[in-house]
């Protein structure tokens, strides 16, 4: 009996996050729900935004580097996003800060679609997992 209880605990801990698929990847939304010019936010800390730029899915930090404001709720035009708080603009492709008051770039993240679902990596592009 004790073994069965331990198995149940292990099973529930394995499924503890509905959005987590494998180490470092998080489900964001259904691909059909993320239409061109729209953005969605992954359930991560810190939050990560996924943008549909003319059919291409790109991802950056969701929080403006100048002020604590969600970029997914900002103004998206082409491959730029403008923070709704102080109007700083960022390149969604590279994360570059394009206009003041922001001067610090955003991190960017890999995105993939699998079985109709959008997933984002929690490991920024250009950073490894810290393995030797």
pLDDT digits 0-9 by tens, 97-125: 999 999 999 999 999 999 999 999 999 99
- 13-18 contacts at long range (C-beta below 8 A, 24 or more positions apart): 17/43
CATH fold of 19-121 reads: Rieske Iron-sulfur Protein (2.102.10)
Q: Is 10 exposed, middle or buried (0-12, 13-18, 19+ CB in 10 A)?
A: exposed
- Confidence at residue 20, expressed as pLDDT on a 0 to 100 scale: 55
**Among residues 25, 102, 98, which one has the least CA distance to residue 67?**
102
Q: Residue 69 and residue 101: Cα distance in Å, rounded?
A: 13
Q: Residue 127 and residue 114: Cα distance in Å, rounded?
A: 23
Residue 41 reports pLDDT greater than 90 = yes
**94 in Cβ contact with 105 (< 8 Å):** yes
**74 in Cβ contact with 90 (< 8 Å):** no
CB atoms within 10 A of CB 39: 23
- pTM value is 0.81
Predicted confidence (pLDDT) per residue in 68-87, tens digit? 999 999 999 999 999 999 99
Residues 6+ apart with CB under 8 A from 24: 121, 122, 123, 129
Predicted confidence (pLDDT) per residue in 1-31, tens digit? 444 444 333 333 333 345 555 679 999 999 9
């Amino acid at each position: 009996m004790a073994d069965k209880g331990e198995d149940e605990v292990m099973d529930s801990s394995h499924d503890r996050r509905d959005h987590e698929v494998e180490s470092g990847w998080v489900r964001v939304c259904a691909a059909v729900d993320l239409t061109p010019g729209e953005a969605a936010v992954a359930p991560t800390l810190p939050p990560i935004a996924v943008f549909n730029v003319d059919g291409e899915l790109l991802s950056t930090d969701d929080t403006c580097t100048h002020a604590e404001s969600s970029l997914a709720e900002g103004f998206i035009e082409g491959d730029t996003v403008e923070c709704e708080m102080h109007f700083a603009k960022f390149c969604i492709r590279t994360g570059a800060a394009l206009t003041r008051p922001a001067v610090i770039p955003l991190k960017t993240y890999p995105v993939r679609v699998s079985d109709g679902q959008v997933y984002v990596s929690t490991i920024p592009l250009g950073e490894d997992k810290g393995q030797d």
